[in-house]
Structure 1
């Protein structure tokens, strides 16, 4: 036990140089990488850094969450972000040996048709915009309770006739103690460089440092989630002169409560203070910042759905399917 905590603490220290040295301006590109890809993620408030059984898609949030228990599952999800904006995500992986696993994933977001106008406000027809990312992932069990993961992303963005390319890395650790129902996760996300920008200025991907904590109750079917995100120093200082310290701090936290009747059924509700604050300025209602999700597992498939609000004009929803694909034998 003490050895696991020492390894976890040492691994977290590896993030500190990146946390302090790679500070960037508040302007970032490829923000679609921060949009949730799974019902569990949305139901937890928008981020999932900690262990969720049988959900391989949360590896998009923390590569250390993909392991032998989720290998062999083909994950698919569809997100209706808002009117005309849609996202699809897929992930699949296999064991490498008794400790390692690999996976390959794809994320794509299409923004629909938009009208183009020249500087004199004369219509020039329509155009489309698309973002996509292809990623390869490898995770390794450092001990029976601690796992590390690394993901390499090739990122592409297109707006009308303009294109941009970038390369980014996710690095994460996950500590899970099933007997105590305790899960701790940390991830450095989207740390990379823009190879080709839309213009001469190359805006870097929106890198971030995130920490997560989850705890299940021993005598009740509930699990509580707390996630801190936006710990990139420049992001954390953003709007610092406009808000009180407490409001600014809450913008970097999400809360989630999960109810699981058994291993086959779950319900979750989450709260994102940043969404609530932002939607309040856009005439949002009492439910702004809240999210709701649920799922069902069968021997051969797992389905899930979640809903939240990113804009006062309508709800956003995601549905997912994970199914067994191949067998559980090692391929190497």
Structure 2
């Protein structure tokens, strides 16, 4: 049972990177970078790159892992920690910190870590040779430049994957821009992510493709409604092999939906929100013939005070599998550096 759960955990993590069953797996390296790093993004469909303007309150700092331009001066001295438990001791942790100095600008630093736990090894004859470990991690440095109402951002990433002593290392970059309407709650974002080079590859010398992507997102809150709506189109430079599981080719509508992620927030108060999202690629790839079982749906909530913020999300990937994500964000200015 433990071995089965571990296998299912690895499958779930792989599917969290949005692979379709219609594609041949294992075609790209460092795919863990496509997993949503924050509970807010997860709850809104796992792909949102345009988030509403909430600069006067505690935020999830590590949102800049998905869109570097989402960092901002108002996040000075804020820190976020995120934890995602998967099956059988597989887990993801990410943390981020933002710092602003008027003379030089706004910087961020983050760590993304995925641990697969202890795995059983076997030789070519099927005999056990002991346990081994596997993990992925990335160290990210962020910088933004504001030209209101525009903000430009960039991430520089040192990425490493290790399996049983074999290593792959890369140097990647993200570049993005965000437009925030000066009077309306409207955000538009453009992100170029995970472009770079492989420095070392002992894991898969025949696989050289990086998880590069282009994403365009929009977030809007109608003036007299307590809702904020999100839409992101993603994987704009990569296809999926557009075939249903029964071998029939997808129609145009199905192909378009596989590039879209939807999300909505119910703004009950400035300090309490309820979220829901939908990812059609997850649903179409992982639903059973008899039932979808909620595959593709995500939801969550947020609560905060003047000093901290707690986010929770749950993502349904399959009729038999879902995962939770927890985030804690702290405003160090209020906790330790408040003026008397």
RMSD: 2.2
Partners in 1 of 2:289 and 2:77 — Cα distance?
A: 43
Equivalent in the alignment of 2:278:
271
Structure 1 residue 93, shift from structure 2 partner: 1.4
Q: Which secondary structure state, in structure 2, belongs to the residue aligned with residue 32 of structure 1?
A: helix
Alpha-carbon displacement from aligned partner over 1:95-132 (angstroms, at most 9, x marks no partner): 13278310110000001122222222222222111000
Equivalent in the alignment of 2:96:
91
Alpha-carbon displacement from aligned partner over 1:53-75 (angstroms, at most 9, x marks no partner): 22322111100000012221111
Task: Report how many aligned residue pairs link the two structures.
Answer: 302
Equivalent in the alignment of 2:11:
none
| Preserved contact between residue 39 and residue 311 of structure 2 (Cα < 8 Å) | yes
Partners in 2 of 1:184 and 1:135 — Cα distance?
A: 23
List runs of 5+ in structure 2 lacking aligned partners: 1-24
Say if 2:234 is the partner of 1:229.
yes
Residue 184 of structure 1, aligned match among 165, 185, 188 = 188
Partners in 2 of 1:100 and 1:158 — Cα distance?
A: 35
Equivalent in the alignment of 2:175:
171
Task: Summarize the Cα distance change of 1:237–1:305 in structure 2 as closer, same or farther, 3 Å threshold.
Answer: closer
Structure 1 residue 188, shift from structure 2 partner: 0.6
Q: Which secondary structure state, in structure 2, belongs to the residue aligned with residue 236 of structure 1?
A: coil
Alpha-carbon displacement from aligned partner over 1:236-257 (angstroms, at most 9, x marks no partner): 2533684222212111100011
Structure 1 residue 314, shift from structure 2 partner: 2.5
Q: Any residues of structure 2 matched to 1:1-332 within 5 Å, and which?
A: 27-52=27-52, 53=54, 54-97=59-102, 100-143=105-148, 145-177=149-181, 179-197=183-201, 198-201=203-206, 203-232=208-237, 235-236=238-239, 238-239=241-242, 242-281=249-288, 285-326=292-333
Task: Summarize the Cα distance change of 1:95–1:282 in structure 2 as closer, same or farther, 3 Å threshold.
Answer: farther
Of stretches 300-309 and 194-203 in structure 1, the one that deviates more from structure 2 is 194-203
Of stretches 173-182 and 31-40 in structure 1, the one that deviates more from structure 2 is 173-182
Alpha-carbon displacement from aligned partner over 1:141-194 (angstroms, at most 9, x marks no partner): 022x11000000000000112111001001111111252211101101111111
Structure 1 residue 285, shift from structure 2 partner: 3.1
Task: Summarize the Cα distance change of 1:291–1:163 in structure 2 as closer, same or farther, 3 Å threshold.
Answer: same
**Structure 2 length as normaliser, TM-score?**
0.83
Partners in 2 of 1:244 and 1:290 — Cα distance?
A: 22
| Preserved contact between residue 221 and residue 227 of structure 2 (Cα < 8 Å) | yes
Task: Summarize the Cα distance change of 1:85–1:183 in structure 2 as closer, same or farther, 3 Å threshold.
Answer: same
Partners in 2 of 1:164 and 1:229 — Cα distance?
A: 26
Task: Summarize the Cα distance change of 1:65–1:282 in structure 2 as closer, same or farther, 3 Å threshold.
Answer: farther
List runs of 5+ in structure 1 lacking aligned partners: 1-24
| Preserved contact between residue 48 and residue 58 of structure 1 (Cα < 8 Å) | no
Task: Summarize the Cα distance change of 1:113–1:157 in structure 2 as closer, same or farther, 3 Å threshold.
Answer: same
**Structure 1 length as normaliser, TM-score?**
0.85
Q: Which secondary structure state, in structure 2, belongs to the residue aligned with residue 230 of structure 1?
A: coil
| Preserved contact between residue 137 and residue 160 of structure 2 (Cα < 8 Å) | yes
Structure 1 residue 204, shift from structure 2 partner: 3.2
Q: Which secondary structure state, in structure 2, belongs to the residue aligned with residue 294 of structure 1?
A: strand
Of stretches 96-105 and 120-129 in structure 1, the one that deviates more from structure 2 is 96-105
| Preserved contact between residue 294 and residue 319 of structure 2 (Cα < 8 Å) | no
Structure 1 residue 284, shift from structure 2 partner: 5.9
Task: Summarize the Cα distance change of 1:192–1:114 in structure 2 as closer, same or farther, 3 Å threshold.
Answer: same
